[in-house]
Each structure stands twice: as C-alpha cells, then as structure tokens.
Amino acid sequence: MSNLIKPHSTIGIIGGGQLGRMMAFSAKERGYQVGVLDPTPNCPTAQVADWHIEADYDDAEALLSLAKQCDVLTYEFENVDASTIERVMDQVHVPQGTDLLLITQNRLKEKEFFKKSGIPVASYARIDSIEDLKNQSETIGYPSVLKTIQGGYDGKGQFVLKKSSDIESAATLLEQGTCILEKWVSFQMEVSVMVTRNERGTIAVFPVSENIHQNNILLKSIVPARISKDLQKEVKQIAETIADQLNLVGVLGIELFVTEQGELYANELAPRPHNSGHYSIEACTDSQFDMHIRAICGYSLPEVELLKPAVMVNILGEHLERAHELNEQQPSWHVHDYGKSEAKVGRKMGHITVLTDDVNQTLNEVEDTGIWKF
C-alpha cells in the first residue's frame, strides 16, 4: 500500500484538451491537486486544474518543472515525445511508462504488437518507397489504405487505394515518411472497448461501444454495441490480453472492426481515455476517467458495470449553438461543453449522453433535433 498516491497529492497532466479536463474533474472529485502542461491559455483542462504551465509539450524545461511539482504524471494524448518523458522519470512517478507510447505512436509497431499477442489484424505491409507500394498492392489487393506510421489521427495521413492507378497519388504520403499499407476491411460495424489495469495487475473492462464515424470523426456511440453476447465476450477477452501484454497502467482504448461474418480485426490503440468511452461518465458505475485516476494512483479497481444503455453524440463546432438549446428542451440529456473558446467546424466542442431503455427511439429523437446530419 506504500505506493498509493493519496488525495491532496498532485497529478500532472500533459495536454490540456477535453480528455485532460475530464480526468481533472475525476481527480478534483477525489481531492487531488491538478497541474497541466499545454500551450493554449485557458485551455479546457486549465479551466479545471489548480495550475497551468503554458508551454509546448516538447518544451523540456517546462516538462521538468511540471514533473518537479507533481507526485504522478500522466498524459491525455499519445503524441508526447517518449524520450522527453523518460528524462523526467527520476523526478516523478510515471506509472504508464513509455513503452506503451512507443507502440501506439507507431502504426507498424502497433500492428506487430497485435500480431505477437495473437490478435487478428488486417493484412499489412511496411511501405518505404513507391516500389514497395506497387509490389505490396499486388499482394494485399484492392481496396487498401495507405497510412503514415506516425502522427495521423481522425483519418489524417491516410489514402484509400481502389485501383492501381491510385498508386501515384497515394505515394505522396511517403513524403511524410514510412507508411503502412493495410487491406481494407469491409466491416459491418466499428466497435471499441476501454480497459483499465493497475500496477497490481487487476483488470477492469468496460462495455463494448458501437461507433459511427462521419468524415473520419466519431459522431455517435451506442452502448452496448449491437453485437452478439459471444462477440462482446470475445472483444473483452482481447482487451484483457492486450492490457496484460502491455503491462498497462491506466486506461486504454481499443478500436476494432466487426465483419458481417462475425470476425474481429483490431485497428488501433489509444493509450488514454477515448471519445467512445465518454458514455461511461453517466452510464457506468465508474467512468473511464475515474478508473484512470484510480489506476495511476495505485488504487484497487472495481468491476465496471453498465447502469443503463446509452447513446453518445459528439457536439462539433457546427452543432454547438443548437446543442446548447437541448439543455432546455431535453432536460434528461447530459450535455457536456468542453469550454473551448472558438467553435470551428469539425472541432470537438462537447458531447451529449442519453441514457435510454430504447436505443432506437433515442436515436430517432437525436435525429429529429435536426442538429446532426446522419
């Protein structure tokens, strides 16, 4: 019990977006102090944290200052430079370590990890040149998708190849460095699952979420995912295997494809809370943020139970004004606003969670608002 990070200690968060903000809410509820490192003044997390270091994530001096003032350090996004974190590990407890970051920052390493752990993935190949792309396109076939191995998110840094004449245009992605070519999975559904593990090896898996994207941005999640109980069990087993294999501490999101034949293919890992897990704030006995804070502070983990099925819808910049009206029109809907000052089109500004006994009716009600174009 000696390595518990107790209430009133300070948690440092690298990154000041909505994920850090919701982590900070959970931390504050439990009596922790919170410091955040982020370059943007008044960023979503800074509005909740006790203090804010306004500097870039890769500013080594600023990170050192954050580390020195904290008892435990965590991050809200995966593109933090692992070597910069390594340099402050003698100053502060970093329970998540850096191995997980190194894997999730690199699509090739991530795929190799899945394969090594016996988790099914779509066929893939490393691509360093247009010749590689030509050769591997023949082996993998069409359609396929070329992705930069580093730095892409929400579909950025990706090119779908439908035929051989797409190779020339797709190859421009190689200017950004090594890529990975993946076979296109003709999925029936995209699902994700959040898993938490603590240093003692206790694992808690959240219910499986069904995710609907638009322009590669998550639009809606439905929980539990409308897949068979057996498939849900399989997803949960995959989550446990991954958490164990990674020696995970904290929360991790796993995205998977489900085919019509009921096959599962792992797509991606997110070494942090995930948008598709936001439903857990109201719909579960503990949220993904609560469980993350418990895990990184060394506490025991409860099993997570779903209190009620839920529909979660993202509020992007173009939805914000009308979504605010739902506070009045739909008092039982949980409308979250991340406190961002500028509502740009496509920018995640908040989300809504609706607890429901009738998912179809709720989906219709959401559609009837006319705010979202599905």
Question: Residues in the site for ligand AMP, rule: CB under 6 A?
Answer: 122, 145, 152, 155, 182, 184-185, 187, 190, 213, 216, 255, 267-268
Quote the least distance from Cβ 350 to ligand AMP, whole Å: 21
Judged by beta carbon, residue 155 or residue 201, the one nearer ligand AMP is: 155
- C-alpha dihedral, 31 to 291 to 110 to 90, nearest 10°: 30
Distance CA 156, CA 145 (A): 12
**Closest CB to ligand AMP among 33 and 148?**
148
User: Quick one: 145 or 203, whose CB is closer to ligand AMP?
Assistant: 145
Q: CB of residue 274 vs ligand AMP: minimum separation in angstroms?
A: 11
Q: Report, in Å, the least distance between residue 365 CB and ligand AMP.
A: 25
Helices 18-29 & 288-296 angle (0-180, nearest 10): 70
Q: What is the DSSP string of 272-307?
A: S--GGGTTHHHHBSS-HHHHHHHHHTT---PPP-BS
Q: Which is nearer to ligand AMP, 37 or 312 (CB)?
A: 312
Number of H helices, E strands in the chain: 12, 17
Distance CA 111, CA 122 (A): 9
Compare residues 154 and 240 and give the one whose CB is closer to ligand AMP.
154
Per-state percent for the chain, helix, strand, coil, to nearest 5: 35, 25, 40
Of the CA atoms within 13 Å of residue 312, those in its CB half-sphere come to 26
Q: State whether residue 72 is helix, strand or coil.
A: strand
Q: How far is the CB of 206 from ligand AMP (least distance, A)?
A: 19
CA distance 209 to 304: 14
Question: Which CB, 8 or 156, lies closer to ligand AMP?
Answer: 156
Q: Which is nearer to ligand AMP, 142 or 187 (CB)?
A: 187
- To the nearest whole angstrom, how small is the minimum distance from the Cβ of residue 190 to ligand AMP? 6
Structure tokens at 273: 């809370």
Task: Say how far apart CA 133 and CA 306 lie, in whole Å.
Answer: 45
Amino acid at site 146: L
Comparing CB distances to ligand AMP, the nearer of 182 and 290 is: 182
| CB contact at 8 A, 16 and 36 | yes
- Residue 234 in tokens: 């399989």
* Least separation in angstroms between CB 213 and ligand AMP: 5
Q: Please say whether the beta carbons of 207 and 284 come within 8 A.
A: yes
Closest separation between CB of residue 351 and ligand AMP, Å? 17
Minimum distance between the CB of residue 123 and ligand AMP, rounded to whole angstroms? 9
Q: Residue 138 Cβ, how far from ligand AMP at the closest point, in Å? A: 17
Residue closer to ligand AMP by CB (options 38, 182) is 182
Q: Residues near 372 by Cβ (< 8 Å), separated by ≥ 6?
A: 219, 220, 313, 319, 366
Euclidean distance between CA atoms 352 and 220, whole angstroms: 9
